[in-house]
Structure 1
C-alpha cells in the first residue's frame, strides 16, 4: 500500500479534532491529578492514624491496578449504581485519580525536603496549621516538584489512547474510525504516531526548561 497525500489531506481535519480532545483530556486530567495528589499527600500526613492509613491503602490500590480497568469501572460499572458520566468526563476523572496517586509521592518527597527548621520556625511564630502549610511549607516545597510533576503529565498524555476504550473521540479513536471506514491504516495510524511524537518533543523541551529553572526532585 502506497502513501496517499490526498487521503492525508482528507482525514487531517478529523485527526486534528482528535488532537484537540487529547490535549484537553491531558490538561484537565493534569489539573485533577495535581489536586488529588496534594489531597492524598496531606491526608497521609494526618495525625489521625485511621485517616492516614485509609488514604494510603486507597492510593496503593489505585496505583496497583491498571488504568484501563479503572476507566472501564468508571464508565461501564458506575452507571449500574446510578452514576452516568459523559465519556470525556469519565476519562478525565480516570486519568486524574490514577495519576494523582503518583503525584502524591512527588508531593511527599517535596514536603519532606523542606528543612525541619522551617517547621520549627512556623511553630515558634505561633502560626496555625493552615498558615504553616500555605505560607511556609508549600511555597518552598512545590517549585522543586514541578519538573517531576511535568514528567508524569507527559506520561499521562501518552496514555490518552486508552480513552478510546470508553468511546472518547480522542486522536487514536478518531484514527481507528477513519481507518475502519476507508480500510486504510497506513496514513491514519502513522499520523497518530507523528502527532504524539511532535507534541511529546515539545513537552520534553518544556520539561528541560523547568528542570533548569526549578531543579529536579525525584519521587
Structure 2
C-alpha cells in the first residue's frame, strides 16, 4: 500500500506540533527583523556609527544563515535553548535585509518633506515619527511581506542546531517508522497551508500599498 491513512492520522498531531514550532520561529523572528531592521535603517543615517552598522549588516547578509546559526549555537551557554538561539539568529539575519528595505523607503521620502520639517523647527523625534516613517513604511510593506515567507521557508535550516520544527519532525518520524512518503508529503502540504495564504495576503498588500 503506497499511502497508509491510519499512519497518516497517527502522525498528524506530531507534525502539527512541528508546524507550531515553525510558526513560532517565523513570527517571533519576523518581529525581531522588523524592529531591528528599522532601528538599523535609522542609525545608518548617523555619520559616526552609520558606517560601522552598515559593515556589520553587510557581513550578516553575505554569510549563510546556517553558518551563523551553528556558530552562535556553539558559543552560547548550554542554558540557552536551541529555540532561543534559532529565533534570534533568524531575526538578526533578516534584519540585515529589512534594514535595506526600510532604507529604500526612507530615501524615497521627498526631500521637500525633510526641508519643511526643518523649516518648522520640528524635533527629530517628531520628524521621524510623524512625517518620514509613516510615508516610508507604507511604501515598503509589500517588500517586507516577502521576507516573511522567505523566513518561513528557512526555518528547516535550524535543524542543524537541534531545533525540532516541522521538517525535522517529519524526518524523525520517517526514520523511526521507515515511512517517508506520508511524513514528507504531509510536511510539504502543511508548509503550503501556511505559505499560500501568506502569499495571497502579500499580493493584496502590494495592490493596496503600491507606491504612486
Q: TM-score range by the shorter chain?
A: over 0.9
- Corresponding residue number in structure 2 for 1:91: 86
- Corresponding residue number in structure 1 for 2:101: 106
> Is the Cα–Cα contact under 8 Å of residues 178 and 188 in structure 1 kept in the other structure?
yes
- Corresponding residue number in structure 2 for 1:10: 10
What are structure 1's unaligned runs of at least 5 residues?
none
- Structure 1 residues 187, 202: closer, same or farther in 2, change over 3 A? same
- Corresponding residue number in structure 1 for 2:71: 73
- Corresponding residue number in structure 1 for 2:44: 44
Size of the aligned set, in residue pairs, is 212
- Corresponding residue number in structure 2 for 1:172: 167
CA shift for structure 1 position 175: 0.7
What are structure 2's unaligned runs of at least 5 residues?
none
Match for residue 57 of structure 1 among 55, 72, 94: 55
Between the aligned partners of 2:72 and 2:34, the Cα distance in structure 1 is 20
Is 5-14 or 187-196 further displaced after alignment? 187-196
CA shift for structure 1 position 84: 4.3
Q: TM-score, normalised by structure 2?
A: 0.96
CA shift for structure 1 position 74: 1.7
Match for residue 114 of structure 2 among 119, 123, 130: 119
Match for residue 197 of structure 1 among 192, 195, 198: 192
CA shift for structure 1 position 207: 0.4
- Corresponding residue number in structure 1 for 2:126: 131
- Corresponding residue number in structure 2 for 1:152: 147
> Is the Cα–Cα contact under 8 Å of residues 110 and 144 in structure 1 kept in the other structure?
yes
CA-atom RMSD, angstroms? 1.4
> Is the Cα–Cα contact under 8 Å of residues 26 and 160 in structure 1 kept in the other structure?
yes
Q: TM-score, normalised by structure 1?
A: 0.93
CA shift for structure 1 position 216: 5.4
SS at match of 2:76: helix
Between the aligned partners of 1:190 and 1:44, the Cα distance in structure 2 is 44
